[in-house]
Structure 1
Amino acid sequence: MFNKITNLYFSLFLTLMINVSYSQCDMPDNSLSLNGTDIWYNSTEIIGGFQFSVDGALPTGASGGDAAAAGFTVSTGGSTVLGFSFTGGTIPAGCGTLTSLSLDGNASGLSNIVMSDPSGNSLNFSYFDSSSGGDVVCEDENACNFGELGECTFSDYQSCDCDGNVYDGYCDCDGSILDECGDCGGNGADVMCDDGSMVCSESDCSSDSEEIESGCDLPENNLYLLNGDVLYNSSTNIGGFQFSLDGGSLNGAVGGDAAAAGFTVSTGGSTVLGFSFTGGTIPAGCGILTSLLFDGTASGLSSIVMSDPSGNSIDFDYYDGSTDPELGTATVQIIHNSASPTVDVYVDGGLAISGFEYRAATGLLELPTSFTVGIAPTGGEVIADFPFELVDGGSYVVVATGLLGDTTT
Structure 2
Amino acid sequence: MSDIFKNYKSLLSVFSILFLTNFIFADPTDGCELGANELFVTQSGDVLYNSAADIGGFQWTVDGATVTATSGGDAAAAGFTVQAAGTTVLGFSFTGGVVPAGCGTLTQMTLSGEATGLSGIVFSDASGNALDFSYYVPSDDTGGDDGGDGGVADACDLPSNTIYLDGGDVWYNVDTDVGG
Paired residues for 1:81-160 under 5 Å = none
**Hey, what does 2:5 align to over in structure 1?**
none
Residue 379 to residue 207, structure 1, CA distance change in 2 (3 Å): closer
Q: Deviations over 1:57-100 (max 9, x none)?
A: xxxxxxxxxxxxxxxxxxxxxxxxxxxxxxxxxxxxxxxxxxxx
Q: For 1:270, which of 81, 84, 87 is the aligned residue? A: 87
Paired residues for 1:295-310 under 5 Å = 295-310=112-127
**CA RMSD, Structure 1 to Structure 2 (Å):** 3.4
Residue 275 to residue 374, structure 1, CA distance change in 2 (3 Å): same
Shift of 1:280: 0.8
CA distance in 2 between counterparts of 1:329 and 1:238 reads 30
* 1:285 pairs with 2:98: no
Residue 236 to residue 209, structure 1, CA distance change in 2 (3 Å): farther
**Hey, what does 2:38 align to over in structure 1?**
222
Q: Which has the higher contact order (CA 8 A, sep 6+)?
A: 2
Q: TM-score, normalised by structure 2?
A: 0.69
Question: What percent identity do the matched residue pairs reach?
Answer: 47
Contact conserved, 2:155 with 2:173, CA < 8 A, in 1? no
Residue 311 to residue 249, structure 1, CA distance change in 2 (3 Å): same
Shift of 1:248: 0.8
Shift of 1:285: 0.7
Residue 323 to residue 216, structure 1, CA distance change in 2 (3 Å): farther
Contact conserved, 1:329 with 1:366, CA < 8 A, in 2? no
Q: Which runs of 5+ in 2 are unaligned?
A: 1-13, 142-148
Shift of 1:221: 1.1
Contact conserved, 1:332 with 1:366, CA < 8 A, in 2? no
* 1:379 pairs with 2:176: no
SS in 2 for 1:289: strand
Shift of 1:310: 1.2
Shift of 1:208: 3.9
**Hey, what does 2:10 align to over in structure 1?**
none
Contact conserved, 1:258 with 1:282, CA < 8 A, in 2? yes
CA distance in 1 between counterparts of 2:124 and 2:117 reads 20
Residue 249 to residue 209, structure 1, CA distance change in 2 (3 Å): farther
Contact conserved, 2:61 with 2:88, CA < 8 A, in 1? yes
Residue 209 to residue 318, structure 1, CA distance change in 2 (3 Å): farther
Q: TM-score, normalised by structure 1?
A: 0.32
| Equivalent residue letter for 2:161 | G
Contact conserved, 2:74 with 2:107, CA < 8 A, in 1? yes
Contact conserved, 2:76 with 2:107, CA < 8 A, in 1? yes
| Equivalent residue letter for 1:315 | D
Q: Deviations over 1:86-138 (max 9, x none)?
A: xxxxxxxxxxxxxxxxxxxxxxxxxxxxxxxxxxxxxxxxxxxxxxxxxxxxx
CA distance in 1 between counterparts of 2:62 and 2:37 reads 18
Q: Which runs of 5+ in 1 are unaligned?
A: 1-188, 190-196, 200-204, 335-345, 353-364, 381-409
Counting matched residue pairs gives 150
CA distance in 1 between counterparts of 2:61 and 2:101 reads 22
SS in 2 for 1:249: strand
| Equivalent residue letter for 1:274 | G
Contact conserved, 1:240 with 1:306, CA < 8 A, in 2? yes
Contact conserved, 1:224 with 1:319, CA < 8 A, in 2? yes
Shift of 1:272: 0.5
Contact conserved, 2:139 with 2:150, CA < 8 A, in 1? no
Contact conserved, 1:254 with 1:265, CA < 8 A, in 2? yes
Contact conserved, 2:62 with 2:88, CA < 8 A, in 1? yes
Paired residues for 1:155-166 under 5 Å = none
Larger radius of gyration: 1
Paired residues for 1:232-381 under 5 Å = 232-322=49-139, 328-332=150-154, 348-349=160-161, 372=173, 374=175, 376=177, 379=179
